Amino acid sequence: MSFRLKINRSAEKKHSNIVLALDLPFDQPHYLLSRSIKILKETYSHLCAVKINRQIVLPLGLFNGVQKILGITKDLELPTIMDCKINDVGHTNRIIAEYYYKAGFDAVTANPFVGWAQGLQPVFEVANEMRRGVILLVYMSHQAAGEGYGQTIQNPRTEQLTSQYLAFAEKALSWDADGAVVGATYPEKIREIHEILREKIPIYSPGVGVQGGDVKTTIEAGARFLIVGRTITLSENPAETAKHIKEAARRCPE
């Protein structure tokens, strides 16, 4: 089953478009693992997928503690995204993707700045071989995102000036990516990018809650999935917080 089909089925089954970013502050590895598992077991019924960052993989180990987390997400029938932001030369990118896919992740994130030939082409090739997903970073959620993703560039095909993030949205279409990351903190960018992607490529929006993104505004702008991390993971009641966000999202018109 492809990643896109897997996450859509999960969203329908759970009546949720919430992707939990399992991002926890640094502490002892044992605490990270036990806390991660506890949050997963408390919130899974309100989620459609789980995203893990390197801040969890580095202390726990890809084939050690992370395997325990992936085992639980599989039992809970939650697709998993490795937020590794692949951004190197082609042969290295392919090996990185293979490691994460073989570890059990259903999708990876990748940075289109490195381009296609000898860049991200090998990642898409191995994803197709293994029926996994690739989600491209089109506009990130942090304050300085515009310094890179917001640059004005010359389109090499048309020679016209355009914004970097609009060029990345076009690449997401032409490369047939499984999703595009666009920060919930920039709803105006979500609208612009959705005009290009429409229903062909779903938008994943991080930044709801702690970073200032709003559920209703983000969905109305065109986001399909909300990536929510610290608002849930640092909550005194993660399950109740996840439920509240899920219900707020469900009240938004499609």
Q: In sequence order, which ranges of the chain are alpha helices (DSSP H)?
A: 3-14, 29-43, 54-60, 66-75, 90-103, 121-130, 164-174, 187-197, 215-221, 230-233, 238-250
Q: Which residues make Cβ contacts (< 8 Å) with residue 155, sequence separation at least 6?
A: 161, 162, 167
Q: How many residues are given for the chain?
A: 254
Q: Which of the residues 41, 85, 171, 243 is marked catalytic? A: 85
Measured distance CA(214)–CA(17) in Å, rounded: 14
85 noted as active-site residue: yes
Q: Which residues make Cβ contacts (< 8 Å) with residue 28, sequence separation at least 6?
A: none
Active site residues: 85
